[in-house]
A and B are shown apart, each in its own frame.
Chain A
């Protein structure tokens, strides 16, 4: 069972308290009706299938209830970092395999 750091609670807690919520930094357009079919298709359906660091969303469902972002290495299954929703993508080159 993974250990996940909730950036809102600032605690590292077992995976069972969290739920996965898909890829991160997929922004819903401000005016969806102005989107082309291709762009809307990409927003709805097209996702990365990263081997290595993957930006994804988690929710501290059985805790504070907040959605937050994380970088998880899909090869080692380790969290490289977690950060609050709305913050920019962290620089991958600065991340180590150690959780804060």
Chain B
């Protein structure tokens, strides 16, 4: 059953509601701090004056609804408050980190597609044979292994043992390889299974038989015809899985010291710099909403049966 809206206007309307809900939830996050958030942030030995100043700066002395309104209005102007640790505007802080997370996510997607799709095609063409079984086991393993286990393993083999890549940081292009592989491999496993299933379904259709009967080379039938039609579920999977990817990035960035939004969020949690936590979480969540909207719109475009109010 498909409950996802398909008409562009419906997609955007539903996204607007979700964005409102997500921002409200992130706003409420600060108010979940047990006890007095100001005391938690400043410590119990802070002077009364400092507390009052921070309380006023955060707007915590006013009614919750007013604070919410302020938060939303600030957001509309790109104002996410000020970092308690550095005094810099949160929005400015997020920019550079966002670029690094986007770079990591893009590279991981590339890893997933380059590894996952060919593996899936091979498994579909050899369905039921040893290769297929082997790739199924690999896929379960790939989908089960958490980033914080795979990351150190890869680090151990390729950075410590073979010395091919740096252990962490973001000083060179080579530093991107291990984090991207860590994040991309589990998606590659999922993608391989999706590609296999979608391609097997297409290969059983009459047009494939017709193309084969016309004497087209097997490679052209598979890649040019069947895989093209199998692309729709594959693209949808990629879009939907980007959320898991962004979530996984938080952990992976911490493992490799990759200076992205996730690492910023985790560091800020340990520093009790809650405005930065709020900003980073909001930016990651909104990016995910945006990707989902784009996936829905793309889905409607790719499949002529959907859209136009159907």
A-B complex is real: no
Q: Which residues of B contact A (CB under 8 A)?
A: none
Q: Which residues of A contact B (CB under 8 A)?
A: none
